[in-house]
């Protein structure tokens, strides 16, 4: 199991487009991927779930990934967050 | 204050989000009434309602997919991502799985189940931060509902038989995309902000729009006169005569300025001051766009991407393909239409023709490689193409050719299919020009042995640049290394032109470089004979070309060929042509990496 805490640094937070980019990664993953935000927890393979968290800029989300490609998925997600969802 | 007709004049101020002026009649667009009565069904109807939902769901996905491909020509990649999001939401388990579950467990009708699921989501999103998310859900719900019911299906896009100003509480992206946008003079909505989907789309489609008017949908009635000022944000319902006159003048001046260039494009020849003629054709995604491209001054279609047919789900039948190609050929006649055989793969996945899990899809099983490996599919396309050839001037083009054997194999199949049709006594045009895309460096390196095999070449600059420079443009870390004006790229283009001209055949460019004005100087200067561009860029590029001489472009290109870095080349082009290009509407962007458009848009992930 891999746990990855990622800061939300893009300007608009996790709105529809970033959520879509996250789901692009998670739905192609063989691993199970959960996203935690505050007390909320959701299946990160559902764009609606991810959108419903409405993670705000300046906050943090935690991914909990379990499965054969967990490391790769965690790295891809981290890269996506670091690149601020290509927003700039 | 009252106007003659007795209707009250109402002035509203909102947020101008797309510039321009409009005077017209109000066309009020309702959201379709949703069935908020929860209806239950006897158990034996459950499978029927589930299959109804599945059909509506599949149809909705196809529609959004089609809208996305239609819109990708007219709007930027960033804006087109709206449709991508819609597809992801439709595919979300919360919709794709929860709706059938509700039907099964609670014996609801498909419509009630869709309502229940989407209404809860919509309420949720309305509560948190952005209203845009709620609108996305509403839009998707509308589409699903529309597809669920035969009667409301026709309402999916409003039928606009005369010009009008659309007034609505909010306008969903797909409503705009599905309607005949040429009839829409302007948009006025109660809700929305500067970055709302509607605003972005209105700007891309060049329709003036004012949003955030709060109550325009309550005060304006169908048929009311309305003036809209997309510069200041004023909207007047039932204006006085003086106001109408004032806005007419403003509108006239605005349109004169904007349309001058386009108007000239239709009647003017793409010719330099010293008489060099450089035909400008259009890149189109759908055959239906052909007529519009000619209106904008295109002299035919330089690239019809046949993939559009393949994105609709199943591999299209020969008849379906034939009808589509015929439509394009007939609309363009007597101008030529170059149809590229299916270019799947890379980032363009088609069910049954793509591997979903390739480690390096751009260099994987794609394009002509798929065609040669799947001869039955390829032959079907070639048959449809040759059958359509008698309806216009068809040119067939093979993509992603890496070398001689691929080209000759593809050509041999075309000849076999021709012989087969002749045996069946199906008419085929006597001359169908055959060409290839030049987009892989190996093809350039052996271009001398390829030119003898084809009637024309078309350089696909997007792939050629990415393969030559080994840069994946969607990778943030390296995307700045993607330089269209890299000396290596210019030399390759130069080699292609020289070899083609020695053989007496023409070279066209259909990548996004052809749409960029400064790149166009280089391309024409290097000897490119023909350009194929995004329809919206034809007018501006044509006007720009007409302000130049071929000799200065040639001189500039030869100077650039001697330079050692892309920076030097950019600097020269900018100092010499940036100002003039801006006069003709070139986007005033720094030239480090040309703006994505056309092909480039699709490469974004």
pTM of the model: 0.55
Query: Among the ranges B208-212, B266-270, B557-561, which has the highest mean pLDDT value?
Result: B557-561
**A chain contacts of residue B81, beta-carbon cutoff 8 Å:** 17, 20
* Fold exhibited by the domain B43-156: Enzyme I; Chain A, domain 2 (1.10.274)
Q: Measuring CA to CA, which residue among B571, B574, B497, B579 is closest to residue B544? A: B579
Do B188 and B167 meet the contact criterion of CB atoms below 8 Å apart? Answer: yes
Looking at residue B599, its pLDDT comes to: 37
Residue A9 in domain: yes
B331: left (phi over 0), alpha (psi -120 to 50) or beta: alpha
For B275-603, CATH number out of 3.30.365.10, 3.20.20.60, 3.40.50.170, 3.30.465.10 equals: 3.20.20.60
Higher pLDDT, B351 or B521: B521
State which residues of chain A have pLDDT below 50.
Answer: none
Query: Mutate which of B68, B79, B80, B89 to disrupt the A interface (most A C-beta within 10 Å)?
Result: B89
Which domain covers residue A68, as residue numbers? Answer: 2-83
ipTM tops 0.90: no
Residue A88 in domain: no
Token pair recorded at residue B98: 């929860």
What is the SS3 assignment for B74? coil
Cβ neighbourhood burial of A29 (10 Å; 0-12, 13-18, 19+)? buried
Token pair recorded at residue B412: 């041999």
Positions of B marked active-site: 197, 510
Token pair recorded at residue B230: 């997309």
Looking at residue B562, its pLDDT comes to: 96
pLDDT 10s digits, B162-175: 899 999 877 765 56
CA B575 to chain centre: 32
CB nearest to B89's CB, from A13, A48, A83: A48
Question: Could you please report the per-residue DSSP string of B367-408?
Answer: HHHHHHH-HHHHHHHHHHHHHHGGGSEEEEEE-S--SHHHHH
The domain total for chain A is: 1
Looking at residue B78, its pLDDT comes to: 61
The CATH number given to whatever domain includes residue A58 is 3.30.1340.10
What is the SS3 assignment for A43? strand
Whether residue B531 is predicted with pLDDT greater than 90 in this model: the reply is: yes
Looking at residue B36, its pLDDT comes to: 57
Return d(Cα B352, Cα B374) in angstroms, integer: 10
CA distance B249 to chain A (A): 39
Q: Measuring CA to CA, which residue among B277, B274, B340 is closest to residue B310? A: B340
**Where residue B451 falls among pLDDT bands split at 50, 70, 90?**
very high
What is the SS3 assignment for B266? helix
Looking at residue B153, its pLDDT comes to: 38
Return d(Cα B602, Cα B515) in angstroms, integer: 16
**A chain contacts of residue B94, beta-carbon cutoff 8 Å:** 46, 48-49
Weakest-pLDDT range from A48-52, B176-180, B435-439: B176-180
Residue A26: other Cβ atoms inside 10 A: 23
Whether residue B4 is predicted with pLDDT greater than 60 in this model: the reply is: no
Do B108 and B38 meet the contact criterion of CB atoms below 8 Å apart? Answer: yes
Higher pLDDT, B571 or B344: B571
pLDDT 10s digits, B359-397: 777 888 889 999 999 899 999 999 999 999 999 999 999
Query: ∠ CA(B549), CA(B553), CA(B555), 5° rounding?
Result: 115
Higher pLDDT, A66 or B128: A66
Whether residue B474 is predicted with pLDDT greater than 80 in this model: the reply is: no
Instruction: Using a pLDDT cut of 70, give the percent of chain B over it.
Output: 83
The CATH code that applies to domain B10-28+159-262 is 3.50.30.10
Across all residues in chain B, what is the average pLDDT? 84
Residue B202, CA atoms < 13 Å, CB-side half-sphere? 31
Do B184 and B211 meet the contact criterion of CB atoms below 8 Å apart? Answer: no
A-chain residue closest to B137, CA distance: A48
Return d(Cα B567, Cα A56) in angstroms, integer: 39
Positions of A marked active-site: 15
Looking at residue B247, its pLDDT comes to: 94
Looking at residue B601, its pLDDT comes to: 35
Residue A52 in domain: yes
Whether residue B33 is predicted with pLDDT greater than 50 in this model: the reply is: no
Q: Measuring CA to CA, which residue among B603, B590, B359, B576 is closest to residue B461? A: B603
**Where residue B30 falls among pLDDT bands split at 50, 70, 90?**
low
Return d(Cα B574, Cα B331) in angstroms, integer: 38
Token pair recorded at residue B598: 């056309």
Return d(Cα A79, Cα A77) in angstroms, integer: 5
Residue A40 in domain: yes
Residue A65 in domain: yes
**Where residue B345 falls among pLDDT bands split at 50, 70, 90?**
low
CA distance A44 to chain B (A): 11
Average pLDDT over residues B110-121: 87
Say if the Cβ atoms of A15 and B132 lie within 8 Å: yes
Looking at residue B273, its pLDDT comes to: 96
Whether residue B542 is predicted with pLDDT greater than 70 in this model: the reply is: yes
Whether residue B155 is predicted with pLDDT greater than 50 in this model: the reply is: no
Higher pLDDT, B574 or B579: B574
CB nearest to A48's CB, from B94, B132, B357: B94
Whether residue B605 is predicted with pLDDT greater than 60 in this model: the reply is: no
Q: Measuring CA to CA, which residue among A37, A32, A22, A39 is closest to residue A2? A: A32
Whether residue B594 is predicted with pLDDT greater than 60 in this model: the reply is: no
């Amino acid at each position: 199991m891999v746990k990855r805490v990622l800061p939300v640094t893009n300007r608009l937070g996790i709105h529809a487009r970033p959520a879509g980019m996250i789901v692009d990664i998670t739905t192609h993953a063989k691993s199970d991927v959960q996203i935690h935000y505050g007390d909320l927890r959701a299946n990160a393979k559902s764009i609606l779930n991810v959108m419903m968290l409405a993670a705000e800029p300046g906050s943090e989300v935690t991914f909990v990934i379990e499965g054969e490609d967990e490391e790769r998925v965690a790295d891809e997600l981290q890269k996506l967050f670091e690149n601020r969802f290509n927003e700039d | 204050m009252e106007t003659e007709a007795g209707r009250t004049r109402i002035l509203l101020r909102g947020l101008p989000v797309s510039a321009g002026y409009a005077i017209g009649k109000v066309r009020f667009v309702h959201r379709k009434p949703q069935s908020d009565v929860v209806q239950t069904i006897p158990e034996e109807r459950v499978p029927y309602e589930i299959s109804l939902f599945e059909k509506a769901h599949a149809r909705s996905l196809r529609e959004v997919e089609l809208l996305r491909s239609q819109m990708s020509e007219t709007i930027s990649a960033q804006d087109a991502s709206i449709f991508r999001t819609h597809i992801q939401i439709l595919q979300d388990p919360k919709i794709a799985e929860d709706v059938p579950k509700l039907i099964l467990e609670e014996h609801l009708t498909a419509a009630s189940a869709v309502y229940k699921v989407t209404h809860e989501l919509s309420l949720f999103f309305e509560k948190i931060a952005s209203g845009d998310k709620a609108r996305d859900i509403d839009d998707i719900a509308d589409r699903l509902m529309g597809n669920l019911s035969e009667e409301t299906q026709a309402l999916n896009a409003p039928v606009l038989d005369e010009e009008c100003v659309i007034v609505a509480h909010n306008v969903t992206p797909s409503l705009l995309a599905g309607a005949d946008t040429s009839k829409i003079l302007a948009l006025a909505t109660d809700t929305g902000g500067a970055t709302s989907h509607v605003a972005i789309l209105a700007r891309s489609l060049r329709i003036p729009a004012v949003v955030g008017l709060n109550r325009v949908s309550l005060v304006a009635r169908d048929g009311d006169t309305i003036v809209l000022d997309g510069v200041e944000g004023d909207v007047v319902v039932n204006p006085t005569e003086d106001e109408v006159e004032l806005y007419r003048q403003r509108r006239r001046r605005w349109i004169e300025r904007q349309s001058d260039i386009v108007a000239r494009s239709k009647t003017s020849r793409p010719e330099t001051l010293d008489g060099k003629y450089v035909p400008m054709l259009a890149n189109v995604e759908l055959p239906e766009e052909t007529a519009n491209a000619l209106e904008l001054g295109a002299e035919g279609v330089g690239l019809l991407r046949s993939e559009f047919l393949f994105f609709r789900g199943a591999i299209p039948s020969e008849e379906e393909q034939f009808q589509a190609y015929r439509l394009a050929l007939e609309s363009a006649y007597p101008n030529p239409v170059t149809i590229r055989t299916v270019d799947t793969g890379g980032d363009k996945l088609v069910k049954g023709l793509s591997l979903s899990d390739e480690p390096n899809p751009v260099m994987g099983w794609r394009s002509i490689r798929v065609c040669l490996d799947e001869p039955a599919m390829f032959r079907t396309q070639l048959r449809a193409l040759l059958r359509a050839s008698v309806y216009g001037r068809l040119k067939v083009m093979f993509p992603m050719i890496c070398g001689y054997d691929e080209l000759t194999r593809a050509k041999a199949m075309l000849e076999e299919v021709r012989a087969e049709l002749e045996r069946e006594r199906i008419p085929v045009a006597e001359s169908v020009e055959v060409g290839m895309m030049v987009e892989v460096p190996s093809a350039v390196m052996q271009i001398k042995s390829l030119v003898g095999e084809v009637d024309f070449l078309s350089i696909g600059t997007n792939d050629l640049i990415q393969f030559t420079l080994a840069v994946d443009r969607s990778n943030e870390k390296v995307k700045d290394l993607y330089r269209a004006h890299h000396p290596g790229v210019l030399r390759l283009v130069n080699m292609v032109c020289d070899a083609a001209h020695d053989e007496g055949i023409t070279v066209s460019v259909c990548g996004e470089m052809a749409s960029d004005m400064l790149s166009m100087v280089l391309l024409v200067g290097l000897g490119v004979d023909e350009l194929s561009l995004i329809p919206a860029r034809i007018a501006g590029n044509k006007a720009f070309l007409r302000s130049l001489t071929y000799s200065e472009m040639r001189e500039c290109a030869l100077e650039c060929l001697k330079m050692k870095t892309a920076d030097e080349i950019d600097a020269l082009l900018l100092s010499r042509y940036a100002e003039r290009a801006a006069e003709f509407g070139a986007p005033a962007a720094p030239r480090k990496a040309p703006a994505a458009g056309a092909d480039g848009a699709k490469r974004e992930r």
